[in-house]
Amino acid sequence: MSPRRSPRSIRARSVLAAALLAALPPALAEPLRLTEQEYFSRPGLDVLVFNNYYDGLFSDAKHAGVELIHHGVRTATNGDVRLSPTPEQWDPVAQLVERKVDPRTGTVTTRLAYPKENFEYSIQVSPQGEGVRVQVLLDKPLPKSLQGRAGFNLEFLPSAYFGKSWVAAGEGERSGQFPRYPTGPTGRDAGGKPVRLPITTGKRLVLAPEDPQRRVTIESRSGELGLYDGRNQAQNGWFVVRTLLPAGKRGAVLDWSVEGHTLPGWTRDPVIGHSQVGYHPAQRKVAVLETDPRAAAPGPARLLRIGADGSQSEVLAATPAPWGRYLRYQYYTFDFSSVREPGLYVIEAAGQRTHAFRIAEDVYAEAWHPTLDVFFPVQMDHMFVNEAYRVWHGRPHMDDARQVAPNHEHFDLFGQGPELDSPFQPGEHIPGLNYGGWFDAGDFDIRTQTHYATVLSMVDTWERFRPERDETSIDQQRKHVEIHVPDGKPDLLQQIEHGTLALIAQHRVFGHAIPGIVEPDLGQYTHLGDASTKTDGKVHDPNDPDSPADDRWAFTTATTALNYGSAAALAAASRALRGYNDALAEECLETARKAWDFEQSREPNLFRVGNTTGGHPDDEQLRAAAQLLLSTGDAKYAEAIRALWPSVGGERFGFNIPALLAALPKMDDAFRAQVRARAERLREEFAPMLGENPYGVPITRGGWAGNGAVVGVAIANYHLHKAFPDLFDAEPTLRGLDYLYGTHPDSNISFVSAVGARSKEVAYGNNRADFSFIAGGVVPGVLVLKPDFPENKEDWPFFWGQNEYVIDLAANYIFLVHAAQDVLQARKP
C-alpha cells in the first residue's frame, strides 16, 4: 500500500506535469485543420477567418475578420486591414467583397475593399506550424492616401492578458507587462495632434509566454510588429498588434505567422447550467450539462442538501441523460424535479460543483426587487438620483432639446425625414421636453419606441399583479430620487408616471410622437460617467459665443407606427394612473384618442430609420386599438382589430399575442375562435424551434443576443396559457426564467445583475468603464458567433450585443417573474 501523499505534494506534481506537457516539442502538436464549418481548428485553438463580419449594428462590434478562440475563450478579433493603429467604433471598416474556401489546400481567401479610397485587397489564411500563415495580397500598390495609414491589425482582448507579460524580439529582446489600466504611450505629431505610439516593436512578439493557455507568438516576415494599447483612445479599445503595409509594392505585402500554444489533450471544463436563484418546489427542475465533445461522458450527478451546520447529504444521484450536440458542445440533462423539500442545495457533476441555490415556495418573491428598486431609478432621466452615500447622477439634460435639421442621419440609428413635422426651426430650442423618461440603455438617449414598450409592460404588470412595493422616493417637482427611501406611493406607479411624462411631452409640444432625443455628436455620445456632466444644463444661446451648442437633438418625424405605439402606451397608462394622477390619466386617454383619429384620417407616414421609428405599422395599430378598446369600450376599436386580423394574425401572430389576447374578452365569439385556432397552429410551429437546443427556448442568431426573444416567448406563452390552458401549459414560461438565471450556454451566470448566487457583475451600463454593474439590470445574454460559438463575456463589459442593459427587457423581466409566481401558485397542493 503506497504512502499517503499530502495535498501540497499532489499539487506540486500536478504543476510539474503541466509544465512538462507545456514543454513538449512543437512536432507533437496537432496541426490546425479546416473544418466543415469553414474555420481552422485543433484541440485548444480555433482560427476563424471572416466567418463573422461587421454587420452594420452600431459599426465595429469586435467580432469580425481573423479571430482566435484559445482554450475555449475568444481572445483575438478584427484581424483585418485598418486605417489607424487603434481604430474606434465608428472608424472606417472595409466592405466584404468575396470569401472563398479551398478545402483542397486548406486555405481561406477573403476579398475586401475600401471603395472611398479606391483600394481592394485580399487576406489569405492557411495552416502553418502550430497556427496559421496570414498574408495580405495587393493587385496594385497602396493608394497614396493610405500610405502610412493602412496596416494589418489583430486585436487582443485586454481582460485575457491583464497581469501577463510580453516579449518582443528584433534588434535585441525586450519584455514588459500588459497594463491593467491604460498608461500610454502617446505622442504628438507635427501639427500638435495626439498620436498613438506602440508599447513595443519587433519582428517577433510573444504574448503571455508564462501562461500556456494564453501564449501567442506572432512573427512578421514583412515589416515590423507594433503592440498598441487601444484603451488610451477609448475605454472599449483592445491591445492591437499591427504592421503597416509598405508603399509601392504589390503581391504579398504582409506575411505573418500566428501561433497559439495549446495544452496537449486539453478539453474545456464542463458547465452545469442551472438557476442561480433556485426553484419552486412544484416546478420542473432540470440542470443542463455543457461538455467538450472530446471529453468523456460526465458520469453520475448528485444533488446535495446543505444543512444549517454545513453538513451535506445526498438527496438524489443519477446519470445525466444524453441530449446530443448543439453548436460546438455536447449536452446532458440532470432532472431533479422529484425533489420538492425546501432547503439549500448544490449540484455536483463532471468534477464541477455549483453555488448553493434554494428550493422554496417564495424563491421568486424578491427576485424582481433590484430591477424596480435600483435599475429603473438609476435610469431616470432629468432627475437627481441618490442612493445613501452615493450619487448616481445629477439632473441631466435640463437643456433639452434642439430641433434637428431635415434629412439628418445620425450615427445611432436615428434619422430625420425630409419634413420636420415641427413648429421649430433647425437648431432652435424646443421647450417642454426636459422632464420624464429613462436612459434607453447603456447610453443616455430617449428612444420613444423603447419607452412606450416599457410603459405598456409596466401597466400590464400593475393591472395583472398589482405590486404595491414602495422602496423609493420620487419627487417630480424637485426632480429628485432617493433609493431605499419609501415615500408612501407604489414605485411601479411612479415609474409608469415617469415614462408617461416623456411620452405625453411629445404630444404636448408637437401634437404627435417623435423618434426621440439623442446627443448631437460622437464626443458626447461616448460620454461615460455622470449623465448630468454631458451637457451644461443651460439652453444654448446662439447669440452668445460662450454658450456651448451641447443640447441634445430632437428627431421629430411623425411616423404612423410611432404614433400608434405611443397612443397604445398612453391609453394603457390612463387606466393605471386613474386614482393616482387623475389629471395626467385624463390627458393620456384624450391624447391617445386624438393620435388614433389623426392617423386614421391621413395617409400613413412610413418613413423608417434603424429601430427608432416604430415597429410594423399594423402591429402598432393593433396595440393602440387593443388598449383604447380596454380603456373606452368603444366598438370602433374592436372593428379595427377585426380589420387588422388578416395582417396581424398571419406570420406575425407570435409578436402580437399580448395585444390580441388582452383585447380578447372584449371581442365577439367568432373572433375568439379565430384566435384560438391560430394559437393552436402556433403551438405546432413553435415546437421545432423550442426543441433545437437542450434549453427549450428560442436562441436567436445575430448581432444582438437573444434574451429579449427568450423573455418575449416566455411572456407570450403565459398569455396563451391563461387564455387557453387546455392548449398551452406553463412550462415554457418557467424555462424562460430559468434561462435568464443561469440555465443557458457558455456559463451558468445569472443575466440579471445582483440576482442569484452568481450574477452579471461586469455589464454595459453607464458605469461600464468601472467594470461594474447596476443592480437589477438585464443583459442581452449569449451571442452566437458564426458558425457555432456561444459567448457572453463576464470580464469585458464593452460588448453591447451581449452585455448592454435596456429598459424594455427590464420591464418585461419584472412581468415574467410575477407571471412565474402566478402559475406556480396555481400548482400548490
Q: Kindly state the average pLDDT of the residues 788-804.
A: 97
Q: Kindly state the average pLDDT of the residues 127-150.
A: 96
Condensed to tens digits (0 to 9), the pLDDT of residues 648-665 reads 999 999 999 999 999 999
Please check whether residue 479 is in contact with residue 385, taking contact to mean a CB–CB distance below 8 angstroms.
no
Q: Kindly state the average pLDDT of the residues 247-266.
A: 97
Condensed to tens digits (0 to 9), the pLDDT of residues 96-111 reads 999 999 999 999 999 9
Q: Is the pLDDT of residue 271 over 70?
A: yes
Predicted pLDDT at 330: 98
Average pLDDT along the chain: 94
- Nearest Cα residue to 78 out of 62, 89, 94: 62
Q: Kindly state the average pLDDT of the residues 608-626.
A: 97
Q: Kindly state the average pLDDT of the residues 582-598.
A: 98
Rounded (5°) CA angle 736-743-36: 105
Q: Is the pLDDT of residue 16 over 80?
A: no
Task: State whether residue 614 is helix, strand or coil.
Answer: coil
Beta-bridge partners for 353: 348
Q: Kindly state the average pLDDT of the residues 750-778.
A: 97
Predicted pLDDT at 686: 87
Q: Kindly state the average pLDDT of the residues 74-96.
A: 96
Please check whether residue 744 is in contact with residue 286, taking contact to mean a CB–CB distance below 8 angstroms.
no
Domain(s) labelled CATH 2.60.40.10 in the chain stretch across 271-359
pLDDT band for position 6 (cuts 50, 70, 90): very low
Please check whether residue 782 is in contact with residue 699, taking contact to mean a CB–CB distance below 8 angstroms.
yes
Q: Is the pLDDT of residue 1 over 60?
A: no
- Nearest Cα residue to 138 out of 277, 33, 283, 248: 248
Q: Is the pLDDT of residue 11 over 80?
A: no
Predicted pLDDT at 57: 67
Taking CA atoms, 390 is separated from 379, 397, 444, 482, 530, in Å, by 15, 20, 19, 10, 12
Please identify which residue in the block is written with the cell numbers 377585426.
642
Please identify which residue in the block is written with the cell numbers 447610453.
443
Predicted pLDDT at 829: 63
pLDDT band for position 20 (cuts 50, 70, 90): very low
The full DSSP string for 744-793 is: SSS---BSBTT-SSSB--S-BSTTGGGT---TT-B----EEETTTEEE--
Predicted pLDDT at 3: 35
Predicted pLDDT at 705: 96
Cis amide leading into 787 (omega within 30): yes
Which residues lie below 8 Å from residue 823, measured CB to CB, with a gap of 6+? 718, 721, 730, 733, 734
pLDDT band for position 172 (cuts 50, 70, 90): confident
Taking CA atoms, 82 is separated from 88, 92, 133, 188, in Å, by 11, 8, 19, 21
- Nearest Cα residue to 655 out of 611, 598, 615, 683: 615
Which residues lie below 8 Å from residue 776, measured CB to CB, with a gap of 6+? 368, 369, 370, 371, 372, 373, 374, 375, 376, 752, 753, 754, 755, 810
Q: What is the DSSP letter of 562?
A: H
Condensed to tens digits (0 to 9), the pLDDT of residues 181-237 reads 998 899 998 888 888 899 999 999 999 999 999 999 999 999 999 999 999 999 999
Predicted pLDDT at 28: 54
pLDDT band for position 9 (cuts 50, 70, 90): very low
Predicted pLDDT at 54: 85
pLDDT band for position 600 (cuts 50, 70, 90): very high
* CATH code for the part of the protein at 369-825: 1.50.10.10
CA pair distance 575, 584, nearest whole angstrom:
10
Q: Is the pLDDT of residue 791 over 60?
A: yes
Could you list the beta-strand ranges (E) of 261-318: 271-273, 278-279, 286-291, 301-306, 312-318
Q: What is the DSSP letter of 84?
A: S
Domain(s) labelled CATH 2.70.98 in the chain stretch across 11-260
* CATH code for the part of the protein at 271-359: 2.60.40.10
Predicted pLDDT at 373: 98
Domain(s) labelled CATH 1.50.10.10 in the chain stretch across 369-825
Predicted pLDDT at 462: 98
Greatest CA separation for the chain = 94
Q: Is the pLDDT of residue 620 over 50?
A: yes
Q: Is the pLDDT of residue 17 over 50?
A: no
Helix (H), strand (E) at residue 599: helix 582-600
Q: Kindly state the average pLDDT of the residues 777-793.
A: 98
Residues in the chain: 829
Yes or no: is domain 11-260 CATH 3.30.420?
Answer: no
Please check whether residue 170 is in contact with residue 202, taking contact to mean a CB–CB distance below 8 angstroms.
yes
pLDDT band for position 53 (cuts 50, 70, 90): very high
